[in-house]
Amino acid sequence: MKSDAFVTSGLDMDRLPVHVAIIMDGNGRWAKKRLKNRVTGHEKGSRTVRTIVTACRELGIQYLTLYAFSTENWARPKSEVSALMRLLKKFLVSEQQDLMEKGICLQVLGQMEKLPEDVRKQALETIDATRNNHDMTLNLALSYGSRQEITDAVQAVAQKVAAGELAAEDICEKTVADHLYTSGMPDPDLLIRTSGEFRLSNFLLWQSAYAEIFVTHTLWPDFTREEFTEILTNYQKRDRRFGRVECNMPSDGSPQ
């Protein structure tokens, strides 16, 4: 199901990214600019999540990964963390039926065991309810840190080597990828960061090796379908060579 608004926007519907990842940044600054508390910014940001998930589903983008809560975010004030967990649980409850209707499978990337018990229980319930949906996968990165993810993968591989299940010389990039939280998923083609910060913030460091990166100064609560479409249009103009050099390109890499 593809929206007419997107079809007429100039997008090439056959050249859309398979996997989009987004660092949703700027909720706190959005609230501060309006002299509101940070929780209000997070609430407004959750509405943007619904907008972009719906846009991806209508476009036929197969994977969307949203950086919702990092391992470092646990160090924020307890009141803010508690509010974020309440919003997360509310989102999981309120959106479950919509995920089912849209054929979206929910996955959580990160250390789920660190989430409050009621949030973890609701997340597992929604994951289970949507596991047979195949039209799109929505990944929520919760209590997620890429360095921890890579560390966990290395430990799992090391355990297999120690148990004699895997020879050290047989370890390759695919071995590592198969032990990441994103095992079985394609790497992101497009990574978007809102709020104008030029850093990855410990997000999908391995998987984003060849992702096209776009930074917008728009704060996440103000991010719209229209700007998302503009970024997709820009993405389609990029020449993705994955480190390869075309035969007609000078060996020194200079333009012809």
Which residues form the catalytic set? 25, 73
197-204 long-range contacts, Cβ below 8 Å, gap at least 24? 197/25, 200/23, 200/146, 201/23, 201/25, 201/67, 201/70, 202/70, 202/71, 202/72, 202/145, 202/146, 202/147, 203/21, 203/23, 203/67, 203/70, 203/141, 203/144, 203/146, 204/21, 204/65, 204/141, 204/146
How many angstroms separate the CA atoms of 23 and 215, rounded? 10
Tell me if 188 sits within 8 A of 212, measured CB to CB. Answer: no
35 — alpha (psi -120 to 50), left (phi > 0) or beta? left
φ/ψ of 148, rounded to 5, equals: -65, -40
